[in-house]
Amino acid sequence: MQQSIVTLDMEGVLTPEIWIAVAEKTKIPGLRRTTRDEPDYDKLMRGRLALLEKHDLKLSAIQNVIASLRPLEGAKEFLDELRTLTQVVILSDTFEQFALPLLRQLNWPTLLCHKLVIKNDRIVGYKLRVPDQKKKTVAAFKSLNYHVISAGDSYNDTAMLLEANAGFLIHAPENVKKEFPQFKAVESYAELLKLIKAAMF
């Protein structure tokens, strides 16, 4: 009999969108663009790096914004309850240098993400853990005979949801829900928890 495991996106699902928070604090509107808007992650990041250089925005300033953020309302309670039922792994396209304050507030769930290249407090590049990490991680869990249930909100989550045995959208924008109608879309953690429980072995 297979064991179940849940993979979740982080930003937009459990926490605020980091880049949107930075955009609001720094008044740089171009940083509001996220994976909800742009399917090409490399294009998105190259645009972000160009804006950081143009506005001389350093890593420490971004980290100060992140330190002020809190998980979405009900996220910690949802995650705590879910982790009593099954193993949970957060699969995110965020970076190690961004995530720690939010992970602390979520009681340290396991996070697989990427890493920024930093020189003298400046973000000069980024290194993907592996390309298509969300899809590949789900495929790896399936190869270990796990029944994988996934949830996300953005374009960069859809490959993970397609690969999973069961995939759901939560807090997704209308454009993503419209383009991927095969995924049940919900707006609350209570609804998502009900779907996950029903999909578990």
DSSP-based three-state secondary structure for 95 = strand
Measured on CA atoms in the order 53, 54, 56, 57, is the torsion positive or negative? negative
Q: Return d(Cα 162, Cα 134) in angstroms, integer.
A: 11
What is the SS3 assignment for 133? helix
Q: How many CB atoms lie within 10 A of CB 85?
A: 13
> Which listed residue (11, 93, 153, 157) is catalytic?
11
81 has catalytic annotation: no
Q: Which strands form 122-127's sheet, in the order they lie side by side? A: 122-127, 110-119, 87-95, 3-8, 146-152, 166-170, 184-186
Bridge partners of 127?
115
Among 9, 17, 153, 157, the one annotated catalytic: 9
User: Is the CB of residue 184 less than 8 Å from the CB of residue 192?
Assistant: no
User: What size, in residues, is the chain?
Assistant: 201
Strand partners for 40: none
Please state, in angstroms and as integers, the Cα–Cα distance from residue 77 to each residue in 142, 158, 183, following that order.
Answer: 27, 25, 24
Is residue 159 within 8 Å of residue 135, measured between CB atoms? yes
- Active site members: 9, 11
